[in-house]
Chain A
Amino acid sequence: MSSHSDHDHDHTEPPDAIALRVKALESLLTEKGLIDPAALDALIDTYEHKIGPRNGAQVVAKAWSDPAYKARLLSDATHAIAELGFSGVQGEDMVVVENTAQVHNVTVCTLCSCYPWPTLGLPPVWYKSAPYRSRIVIDPRGVLAEFGLSIPDDREVRVWDSSAELRYLVLPERPADTEDWSEAQLADLVTRDSMIGTGLARQPAAV
């Protein structure tokens, strides 16, 4: 690395200094013909406007509504999710794990910040940060309590540490008294955190 960068790495840089580093890198790569700035803009637009947790909510709502789809989702999540048009980067190989009366699932990546982008979008800051990554495996109930979630003592909290290239999505339990709800209505009950496992689906009274 340059002496300039080594110096910067000794302390937390103010955002302005980092912004200058990003600008310098983007300019240099553009000048060398290694990147196309218009493609960068298209990527930003994709992840700001097209890919986010509403995708995953559609998957969950369909699984709640359609037993055959749910069976496909639990046995071959990648293809079942692709049926709804969601696939690709950081969701190439998906696994869906189902919450039941016996097991509450929650996901993490302790080694970096792996996260299922096609269904949940880009991860929130807390998911990528040291407190969550360090604590969810050793103190899952304490962490879930900070999200306002209390899991019964006799129910297993099963943490999935996505240390490989599989990406996990939690299928939350369907709220009671939603028997005649449409898929679109059900999707409104599905939160991002309920698909990470740090939350539950919203109750009908909450919408």
Chain B
Amino acid sequence: MNGIHDLGGMHGMGPIDPPRDEPRFHHEWERRTFPLFASLFVGGHFNVDEFRHAIERMGPAHYLEGSYYEHWLHAFETLLTEKGMITAAELSGEATPTQPSTPPPVLTVDMVEPVVLGGASARAKEDVPGRFHAGDTVRAKNLNPVTHTRLPRYARGKVGTVEMVHGAFATPDTMAHGQGEQPQQVYAVRFTAKELWGVNRPDTVCIDLWDSYLEAA
């Protein structure tokens, strides 16, 4: 979707102003929000693409004003409600919580280390051949789905060169909408500053793009 999250190339967002040092979490509520992601992911309540899409569906003004962990909190509330694991009335304390009919898996203390060190790779178990090779010239398609995609707007219609072939990965466009992994090759495609922004600089941007986002050019 052409959402507010798709920030690459926008103007007017202000200076970076990086602090020299900062705490891991700026508020206690951020500390408590952070571990809910891994816990709920292991519980099978959502995948990472559904999670990202829930954040992308935030109101644009709220997205820009809200902090990173507020985005997370919004996604947890949204997805757990949409999937029927909690209700708004339960969350507000107006209804007595009911137990899930089928208890889902729960991340316990003994699982934390293996989960953290093991992760959950989106790489496909079996490779899927792709259409392109390193050095090929490709064009990012001018796609504008209203659904989730990882093709940034600033790359659409632009011509670049395949810099790296990464292997086959689950497709976020289907993963975010209950349509399965449908793995495809992913490529790092290198675009010149001239192609992206019309300026003569030696600089480039490499963007990781799925096979179906691309056509030969």
A18–B73 CB distance below 8 A: yes
Contacting residues, chain A, for B166 (C-beta < 8 A):
93, 95, 164, 166
Of the candidates B24, B100, B109, B115, the one whose C-beta lies within 8 Å of that of A36 is: B109
B: interface residue count bin: 35 or more
A166–B70 CB distance below 8 A: no
Interface size on A, residues (CB 8 A): 85
A31–B97 CB distance below 8 A: yes
Within A139-160, the residues touching B (CB, 8 Å) are 140-141, 143, 146-147, 153-160
Given contacts A1-B81, A43-B116, contact A19 B27 (CB under 8 A): yes
Contacting residues, chain B, for A32 (C-beta < 8 A):
85-86, 97-100
Given contacts A32-B99, A137-B8, A146-B16, contact A1 B78 (CB under 8 A): yes
Given contacts A18-B29, A48-B24, contact A4 B92 (CB under 8 A): yes
Of the candidates B22, B39, B154, B210, the one whose C-beta lies within 8 Å of that of A125 is: B22
Of the candidates A113, A130, A146, A157, the one whose C-beta lies within 8 Å of that of B18 is: A146
Binds B, one of A20-28, A56-64, A174-182: A20-28
A121 located at the interface, meaning its Cβ lies under 8 Å from any Cβ of chain B in the complex: yes
Q: Count of A-B contacts with CB under 8 A? A: 287
B33–A22 CB distance below 8 A: yes
A43–B152 CB distance below 8 A: no
* Nearest chain A residue, comparing its CB with the CB of B90: A28
Of the candidates A5, A25, A92, A141, the one whose C-beta lies within 8 Å of that of B120 is: A92
A143 to B22, CA, bound (A): 20
B16–A132 CB distance below 8 A: yes
Given contacts A9-B74, A31-B97, contact A163 B121 (CB under 8 A): no
Q: Give the distance to chain B from A119, nearest Cβ to Cβ, in Å.
A: 13
Q: Give the distance to chain A from B57, nearest Cβ to Cβ, in Å.
A: 11
B103 located at the interface, meaning its Cβ lies under 8 Å from any Cβ of chain A in the complex: yes
* Nearest chain B residue, comparing its CB with the CB of A199: B18
A91 to B188, CA, bound (A): 17
Interface bits B68-82 vs A (CB < 8 Å: 1, else 0): 101001101110110
Contacting residues, chain A, for B26 (C-beta < 8 A):
125
